[in-house]
């Protein structure tokens, strides 16, 4: 894993956005996996700025959201689709037919199969962007005795529901108990992966993911098996790495 530590959270986000922009410029038909989460907000903001400033072709990109809550109606403020549309896709200029989302309201078995089929038809993920949960989850692949390979239904840990409560007006009971997520195999099949973590609350998970044992109890540790992973950090998120 290539660990890149920047002077600030903003600098890490800007560097990741610049890396994505470079890639899109070189390969306008790039297939990108997009996570939601607070950490991604400055990344997507910087990416929008770069797109507007440099005017590279974004129309032929394909995007796949990483995860989505179960059962939310379209446009719900807590939906990760709404998040991605609001923070990036409404203004980035990707052709609407090339943006792919998980629908948490339809029978999950069929939905997960459809998603994997669409991903395969697009040629697989070229670049997977990722955040990380405090418990080391990636996407919504939660620590467990086993991990799922493909897009699947997840029962969310209480801690993860709490971490997402701000998208639901602070009302924990409003946060769905289940979600859909790309599986570990789906993520690890990406040709390149770029994970970003900022803030001290991520420091333990980052250290365990980068230097700890590979374990299903810390899903991000499986990224050690991938040949092309970059980790973008601010000093706080990197603070447990050099012990």
What residues line the site for ligand GLP (CB under 6 A)? 35-39, 66-67, 131, 133, 139-140, 160, 163-164
Catalytic residue among 68, 103, 137, 141: 137
In the complex, the smallest distance separating the C-beta of residue 132 from ligand GLP, rounded to whole angstroms, is 6
Return the number of the residue (79 or 95) whose C-beta is nearest ligand GLP. 79
Least distance (Å) from ligand GLP to the CB of residue 206?
12
204 is catalytic: no
Measured from the CB atom, the residue of 59 and 155 that comes closer to ligand GLP is 155
**Cα-based angle 242, 37, 62 (whole degrees, multiple of 5):** 105
**Diameter of the chain by CA atoms?**
47
Question: Is residue 226 among the annotated active site residues?
Answer: no
| Cβ proximity to ligand GLP, 29 vs 178, nearer residue | 178
DSSP 8-class letter at 111: H
The least CB distance from residue 38 to ligand GLP, in Å, is: 4
Q: How many Å apart are CA 113 and CA 151, to the nearest integer?
A: 7
- The residue with its CB nearest to ligand GLP is 131
What is the distance between the alpha carbons of residues 220 and 140, in angstroms, rounded to a whole number? 11
Comparing CB distances to ligand GLP, the nearer of 125 and 163 is 163
Active-site residue identified among 103, 111, 126, 135: 135
Please, which residues bridge with residue 127 across strands? 32, 192
| Count of CA atoms in the C-beta half-sphere (13 A) of 38 | 12
Between the two ends of the chain, the Cα-to-Cα distance in Å is 17
Smallest separation (angstroms) from ligand GLP to the CB of 111: 17
67 is catalytic: yes
What's the Cα-to-Cα distance from 76 to each of 21, 86, 190, rounded to whole Å? Answer: 29, 12, 29
- Distance CA(198)–CA(232), nearest Å, equals 8
Given the residues 111, 142, 164, 234, select the one marked as catalytic: 142
Active site (catalytic) residues:
67, 135, 137, 142
């Amino acid at each position: 894993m290539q660990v890149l530590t920047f002077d600030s959270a903003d600098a890490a986000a800007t560097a990741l956005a610049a890396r994505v922009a470079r890639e899109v410029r070189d390969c306008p038909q790039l297939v990108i996996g997009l996570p939601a989460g607070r950490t991604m907000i400055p990344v997507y903001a910087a990416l929008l700025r770069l797109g507007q400033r440099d005017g590279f072709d974004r129309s032929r990109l394909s995007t796949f959201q990483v995860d989505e809550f179960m059962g939310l109606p379209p446009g719900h403020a807590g939906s990760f689709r709404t998040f991605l549309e609001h923070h990036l896709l409404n203004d980035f200029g990707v052709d609407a037919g090339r943006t792919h989302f998980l629908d948490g309201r339809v029978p999950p078995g069929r939905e997960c199969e459809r998603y994997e089929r669409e991903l395969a038809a697009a040629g697989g993920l070229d670049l997977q962007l990722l955040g990380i949960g405090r418990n080391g989850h990636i996407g919504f692949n939660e620590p467990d005795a086993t991990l799922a390979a493909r897009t699947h239904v997840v029962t969310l840990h209480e801690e993860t529901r709490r971490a997402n409560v701000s998208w639901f007006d602070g009302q924990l009971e409003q946060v769905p108990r289940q979600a859909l997520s790309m599986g570990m195999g789906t993520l690890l099949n990406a040709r390149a992966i770029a994970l970003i973590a900022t803030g001290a609350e991520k420091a333990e998970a980052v250290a365990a993911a980068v230097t700890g044992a590979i374990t299903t109890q810390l899903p991000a540790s499986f990224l050690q098996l991938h040949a092309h992973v970059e980790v973008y950090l601010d000093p706080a998120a990197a603070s447990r790495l050099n012990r």
